[in-house]
Amino acid sequence: MELTSGAKKVVVFDYGFGNVRSAERALAHAGADVEITRDYDTAMNADGLLVPGVGAFAACMTGLKEARGDWIVGRRLAGGRPVMGICVGMQILFERGIEHGEETPGLDEWPGTVGPLKADVVPHMGWNTVDAPEDSQLFAGLDADARFYFVHSYAVHEWNLELHNPLLRAPKVTWSTHGERFVAAVENGALWATQFHPEKSGDAGAQLLTNWIGTL
């Protein structure tokens, strides 16, 4: 896709744990001006920051902190600057992850625990549908039977964020099911995330990324 002069600048944060090239190609196809980097200033000043993630929760958190990604995510969100997490990049936004009986603190942007997915077949690998809120911006323009590509053995099974300020808009939570119900995506102000891989989800994933870029 040919970029326009008004293309949004999106940084794919390169901290060693994510399919950064796939994300770069998908975002560029959706019309963004994309750069893969871990440079602090570039990541802070971009219109949007995408945090990918593959592998173990604990390893991703270690890599993110070594690259100062925890600081970058926190500072961007404090200023209302958009951040999007994908796969383990979504999971580390929660309070903690438990893998093989070991607990690792996450970024604690949302309360909740990432734990083993209870299903007959694990990992959950392949295409699945989601149950998105009717007023979702992330899934706007997509049919209810749209399918997305998942690869994960862990998930968030409950959503417990309580809003004490009635002026704040409640987050929009999307669910999916594989053996049990789990959080598939969240839209919460400047912070959005998906458990599935939009960059591997064909036309549906491309529309979803276009929707996100359109909000930057």
What are the residue numbers of the active site?
87, 197, 199
Which strands sit side by side in the sheet containing 180-188, from one edge to the other?
33-37, 9-13, 48-51, 83-86, 191-194, 180-188, 172-178
What is the distance of C-alpha 173 from the center of its chain? 12
Quote the CA–CA distance of 57 and 62 in Å, as a whole number: 9
Number of Cβ within a 10 Å radius of residue 74: 14
String of DSSP letters for 116-154: E--SSSSSEEEEEE-B--TT-STTTT--TT-EEEEEESE
Q: Max CA-CA distance within the chain? A: 50
Strand partners, 175: 131, 183
Half-sphere exposure of 120 (CA within 13 A, CB side): 0
Quote the CA–CA distance of 17 and 21 in Å, as a whole number: 12
